[in-house]
């Protein structure tokens, strides 16, 4: 095997239990995007066994896949395209988000034999999805064939806890909840908190929190909130690969496309059979792999299927040895945070972009 992503399901369970206990309310486990690259169905089942009350996905097909795997827990899909098979969603007891009057109309028309369960998405300041100007025009007629079970919004700057916009959004959310309450919908699940707010803003917990990146053991923002360890989170994924080739290379040798880097001394270079087709960022620099207690940095550009690291002249590595691309940092290896910083991105993107050519291996303990 050339590479594998080892996913520690016990780490995910720990994170969910900690987040649910600290929030003191229901918890929706966000498993969209193949559970942030960790594997949709195994992670969903682990989350539910750890006490998650809901599963959340972006796309209807993700929700259907969960149902087809035998999961019968509540599922919310919040980015369901107009023209989708709403009737199938309703038949499968998939709860749907509605962000416009047009969406409510389409869902209502699909609810002829069975009432859809709907969460109203409201825009409190993210200025992305959700009701905004139309909110003042919604009335009972718009939801006559629908069961309104929830109302939710999303923070734009929860990873910056001191920003005034967080309180502004919280206030606006309460106003929009009051509006739907005035129409007679008082027994609805209110949910606003993402991972950052779950960790740092207890006033926003309401009836349920939605935890994404934190349930995978990663900090929503290392700079403003601290790293995983400081937040009592356990990173769940370790990405590793077997060295395809190790060879001696003299000083002043160009490496990779464009000859953007040269060896600075006689050294050993290691070739990793992974590249940007597998989710390794092409623009990454100041990252690399870990082997036998030592970090070995990338040298040259990342290619589609491979990249090169400088192992050092005295390295004992040989072809076939396993190296860690990222892990939880407990052995001084690179982390997803490191790779995010090295590519001008974030840890979310690093784990989510690991491609399907890399098998996921599930383990009770990675370390």
Catalytic residues, which ones? Answer: 32, 257
| Torsional class of 237: left (φ above 0), alpha (ψ -120 to 50), beta (otherwise) | beta
Dig out the tokens for 219 from the structure: 């900090």
Q: Return the residue matching tokens 């369901």.
A: 80
Strands 116-121 and 94-98: parallel
CA distance 171 to 165: 10
Dig out the tokens for 136 from the structure: 């003042």
Q: Measured in whole angstroms, how far is the alpha carbon of residue 91 from the centre of its chain? A: 28
Neighbours of 300 (CB within 10 A): 20
Q: How many CA atoms lie within 13 A of 321 on its CB side?
A: 16
DSSP conformational letter for 156: S
CA distance 201 to 214: 14
CA distance 336 to 13: 19
CB 276 within 8 Å of CB 282? yes
CA distance 107 to 112: 10
CA neighbor of 119 nearest in space, from 181, 72, 189: 189
């Amino acid at each position: 095997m050339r590479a594998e992503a080892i996913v520690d399901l016990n780490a995910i369970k720990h994170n969910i239990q900690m987040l649910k206990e600290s929030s003191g309310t229901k918890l929706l486990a966000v498993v969209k995007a193949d559970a942030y690259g960790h594997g949709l169905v195994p992670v969903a089942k682990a989350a539910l066994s750890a006490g998650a009350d809901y599963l959340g996905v972006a796309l209807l097909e993700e929700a259907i896949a969960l149902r087809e795997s035998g999961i019968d827990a509540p599922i919310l899909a919040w980015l369901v395209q107009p023209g989708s098979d709403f009737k199938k969603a309703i038949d499968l007891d998939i709860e749907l988000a509605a962000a416009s009057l047009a969406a409510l109309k389409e869902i209502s028309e699909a609810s002829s034999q069975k009432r859809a369960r709907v969460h109203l998405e409201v825009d409190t300041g993210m200025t992305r999805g959700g009701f905004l100007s139309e909110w003042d025009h919604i009335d009972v007629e718009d939801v006559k064939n629908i069961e309104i079970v929830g109302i939710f919004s999303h923070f734009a700057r929860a990873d910056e806890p001191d920003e005034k916009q967080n309180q502004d959004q919280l206030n606006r959310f309460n106003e929009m909840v009051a509006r739907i309450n005035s129409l007679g919908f008082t027994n609805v699940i209110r949910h606003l908190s993402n991972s950052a707010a779950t960790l740092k803003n207890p006033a926003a917990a309401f009836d349920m929190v939605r935890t994404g990146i934190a349930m995978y053991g990663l900090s929503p923002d290392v700079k403003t909130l601290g790293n995983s360890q400081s937040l009592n989170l356990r990173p769940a994924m370790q990405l590793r690969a077997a060295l395809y080739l190790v060879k001696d290379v003299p000083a002043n040798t160009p490496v990779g496309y464009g000859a953007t880097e040269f060896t600075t001394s006689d050294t050993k270079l290691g070739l990793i059979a992974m590249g940007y087709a597998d989710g390794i960022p092409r623009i990454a620099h100041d990252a690399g792999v870990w082997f036998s207690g030592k970090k070995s940095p990338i040298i040259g550009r990342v290619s589609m299927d491979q990249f090169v690291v400088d192992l050092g002249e005295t390295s004992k590595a040989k072809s076939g040895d396993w190296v860690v691309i990222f892990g939880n940092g407990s052995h001084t290896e690179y982390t997803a945070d490191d790779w995010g910083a090295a590519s001008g991105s974030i840890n979310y993107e690093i784990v989510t972009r690991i491609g399907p050519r890399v098998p996921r291996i599930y383990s009770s303990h990675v370390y």
